[in-house]
Amino acid sequence: MAFGKGSDLISISDLEKKEIEAVFARAKKFEDAVKAGKVKRTLEGRVVASLFFEASTRTRLSSASAANHLGARVIGFSGIEGTSVQKGETLSDTIEMVDKYIDAIFIRHPLDGAARLAAEVAKHPVINCGDGSNQHPTQTLLDLYTMRKEFGRIDGLEIALVGDLKYGRTVHSLALALNHYKVRLKFVSHPSLKMPDYIRKEVSNPVAETERLDIGKCDVVYVTRIQKERFSDLMEYERVKGIYKITPGVLEGAKKGSIVMHPLPRVDEISRTVDATPNARYFQQAGNGLFIRMAVLDAVMNG
């Protein structure tokens, strides 16, 4: 089924290139409308569930804001405290029940594949806002949207993915989504945090893998946080945290016009002093999440 009314968005690989481009076109319209203060309330009278089984700031708030901008009401929870999940309720039962109250679901869950399972149970559209270390498709869409907005194209860009490439689901989804475009990739990571083979072998663009933070030719430097919460061995975390730090000094060697992106939150991998440089785009990137989530929600609820 083509992406549209009634669809779920679980994995970026569910979307064909033309569907991704259609989301961008819709997001641009919403971006213009929000900036002009003239958003059509296309979801007036509808209810959207925001089921965040795991912590989130940007994705949860931008999803709720997207629904609110479009006139929908939002119900849900952030963290499982106070829900029946604490009493041992299964995800399937929770979704089966919530599905009776709402018209669409935003879900984040710590287990890989939880969003796909939720989509099988729910009759209403399910939008994956991150399932474990698997997928985060709206983040990938907003990442691509940001690159396209900044450069007017994605083809031809040289993109460095830096930091935690092992556990970071955003870089997994992004690397695969970039298969739709002709780019050159650079994977910069400590050997213990390399891009997993199951992702690496599906990447169709040329890739250079390196441990050294060499960004001289890159148009986009996409930095990720070392994800402490996914390490079973905290000694390993201590060994690798803070190995890459983007500073104004590092950016002196960067290509003119290059941008620094980050899915946020950052810890110390991008110095605060970078915020004032012309390269910093991570806050604009986070802002684009609103327009992308408006576009996705509108597409799955209105077609």
Binding site for other proteins (CB under 8 A): 11, 13, 90-92, 109-114, 116-117, 131-135, 198
Q: How far is the CB of 81 from other proteins (least distance, A)?
A: 19
Quick check: is 58 catalytic? yes
E runs forming strands in 155-288: 158-162, 184-188, 207-210, 220-223, 259-261
Q: How far is the CB of 278 from other proteins (least distance, A)?
A: 37
Please state, in angstroms and rounded to a whole number, the distance separating the CA atoms of residues 5 and 263: 28
Q: Among residues 38, 87, 100, 212, which one is catalytic? A: 87
- Is 95 or 147 the residue whose CB approaches other proteins more closely? 95
Q: Is the peptide bond before 206 cis (omega within 30 degrees of 0)?
A: no
Q: Specify whether the CB–CB gap between 181 and 159 falls below 8 A.
A: no
- Is 112 or 214 the residue whose CB approaches other proteins more closely? 112
Q: Cβ–Cβ contacts within 10 Å for residue 207, how many?
A: 14
- Is 112 or 238 the residue whose CB approaches other proteins more closely? 112
Q: Among residues 124, 136, 241, 262, which one is catalytic? A: 136
Q: How far is the CB of 105 from other proteins (least distance, A)?
A: 15
Q: How far is the CB of 231 from other proteins (least distance, A)?
A: 13
Q: Specify whether the CB–CB gap between 71 and 42 falls below 8 A.
A: yes
Quick check: is 124 catalytic? no
- Is 7 or 11 the residue whose CB approaches other proteins more closely? 11
Six-digit token string for 110 = 């710590």
Report the candidate in 164, 173, 153, 273 with the shortest Cα–Cα distance to residue 220: 153
Report the candidate in 260, 285, 288, 254 with the shortest Cα–Cα distance to residue 272: 260
Quick check: is 29 catalytic? no
Q: Among residues 60, 108, 172, 293, which one is catalytic? A: 108
Q: Among residues 46, 59, 69, 190, which one is catalytic? A: 59
Show which residues are catalytic.
Answer: 58-59, 87, 108, 136
